[in-house]
Structure 1
Amino acid sequence: MTESVAGHVRWVEGTLRRALEREDFRNRYGKSMRDLLGPGATALCEMTDNGELRAKELKTPPKGVTASQRRRASILRRFAAAAGVPSGALSYPKPTPKPTMPGWARSELHNRLQDEVDRKPSAPGRARLLVVLGVVLDTAARSGELCTIGIVDLAPDLSWVKIIRNPQAIGSPLHITEVWPLSPITQAALVNWLPIRGRLIEDLEGGASALLVVLHGNRAFHRAGAYKKGMPLKVRGLIDSYRAHVQELKAEVTNRGESGWELPQGLEQLRRGVEERRSTYDSDRRAGARTAQWDPAVVLNPLLPEEEEKKKTATAFAKAAQAVTAFHQAREAAGGDETDPQVLKARRTLRETTRLAWARSGHATTLKLLRQAGLSDDDLAAAGYNELLLDALERS
């Protein structure tokens, strides 16, 4: 059971407890698990549909079919299956997804993002939002996938990112890792964010590995406990902060007299808008149109034969080691002239092979490989390693 599902179980358990505190419900359905999870589950669904049994007294009227109703019914069915009794949980139709954004807005999004990144915002919330926008536009990552991205998941030159895909309704712990190229806009957003992130994690004890971190501490106690700034950003915090910072950004753009910034209010709407754009690319490609490729650069699938994956990794390591040797030879032949075409070509090859070696392993293994091949720490920039990333890796 994932942490998310465990949270849903505790949530539904609380609802059941509040229902059983009512004498009429307890007398009617509290005598057996068959009663509680059969007709009792039906009554529970109807009560919650009417806005009853809320943990907090809310004045807002109950909505139509929501994701919460579907989730509650799903957990009730899990309870019944575990107890070996028939489930009385209601079945709800899947709600209509919220609209994403018009096609023209999707086309304008990268241009608008470029303008904001070029401003190099110093406000932590804005800098983090631009990283989120860039990564979603490049990879269509879900909110949960964004929160699992760590410093180690960024390529040496920040041009790729590893995304551990975790689609909904997949209970297996084995997930495919996709390595996606990042646009120059997103790379620039990362360069701006990493120093800000470094200041946020200064007061943390121990390592700090998350890419997206909390901006402000929270002294209030809740189920997950209090947290401090610099700690990893959770899914709920990401969703709420996205909504707040998008509103702030739209207001600021409007005050500047600009128009056309049609960002969706929800992060999931943005992701689905990116997927719609991807579907359009695929349709055009099948029809013979020459469109940009939108695919991961590397896919690490745990379901593939282990020997096949090991062979690919060994080949990537061998090419990186050979590139280090070729780089030193080109330097020596050029007499130390770093602008020599052969040195530039060797540097480019070294950068590409280093990035591929990282994609199939990680930074610790790749750095060890480069040093064993004879590349000094002073030459890590030639292999593409960004100094900001190296600082963040050392801190983590």
Structure 2
Amino acid sequence: MSGQQYSTPSVRQLASVVERVAPRDPAKWDGREKAPGAGGIPVQVSEQRARQLWMVVGMYGRAVGREEMPKRASRELAQLFTPPALRAFWALAVAGQLRHWEKDVGKELPVASQRAVRDCLKVLASLSVPDRLVKLPRVEEPGLKPTVDPRQLTAVYRELVDLAGSSPLERDGRGIRAQERARLLAMVSVVLDTGARVGELERMNVDDLGPGLGMVRVVRRPQRAGKGYEEVAFRLGIAQSTVSKVMAGQDARASHQLAHDIRREVEEVQGAGPRVERYELSHAARVALERWLDVRQSLVADIEGGKSALWVTVLQSKAGPPGIRIRAQGLGQSYARGVNVLNWLMAGQPGWEPLPVRMEQLRRAVDPMPLEDEEGQ
């Protein structure tokens, strides 16, 4: 697509920049220039990123000339990346005022689309004004507020180290048996370090722990919130009904390439395929896990096969003898029981911040940073 179709010089210049790294002509695709990637390392953009870059060019084409945008933004490329222009563009984009389809104008962009637009702005700024430090907009994450005050997490970690020891843990007749306590404290420490969901804990194996208990692998299976067809339609600049028909196998008019792109985008939006992340474990987690592994070893000693699970039952249950993999529901119930008692036992202790009684609340209280990401197969 030629930059000449855009009405203002700055957007035409932006289109020319994108043409270099994501040419519209398939014949030029293999010879495309590289764009700055992670850490500033030049890489060739993917087909998905190319579509997103052109989407943002189109959004700029609809933004420039509006009263919210500075008048200078229409004159030259560099003016698109000044703070006033970026603030105005971002506000319009998030509010859904720059959507391609008129019927969708005014629908606020989903967070995933906001991230895609922001990532494209970073690429476009590095290509358009390489010598300028451009302050990019922030993507405001919706959701519930943390249920554990982050300022108290250091104290919680310190107490967990002490609690992982062999001293009795009981008060006024209430207590947690040693095996359950060891499992609970190790689980809490791992959740604080990784933000793992209960289902992700269930699937953990002993070999997910790194040498010296320095790190742990977490297999993420992103939660699917609806089909995501509206998001895919926005990304590809097509009607949502087209996405629905292709996914239902009912749109024979869609080209093979378009159908392929739609299915791939839907898979991405829906979180198809696991993602493996590695997290560094804190001192508290290492201490707690070391004690739990000793307890676990005694529990699985008489189990034939199936000894890979990190989290196992400590009591006879309907599911089987002690030492078998504990399921997500059992983990959640065990956590709730143990934390209720733990909070009672630790009430009034200096520095202790009561832990939430639902593991999901604890998970949302932290925002750990993985060491690196690997795409699972």
Normalising by the smaller structure, the TM-score range is 0.3 to 0.5
Tell me the TM-score normalized by structure 1.
Answer: 0.43
Larger helix share, 1 or 2:
1
Higher relative contact order (CA 8 A, sep 6+): 2
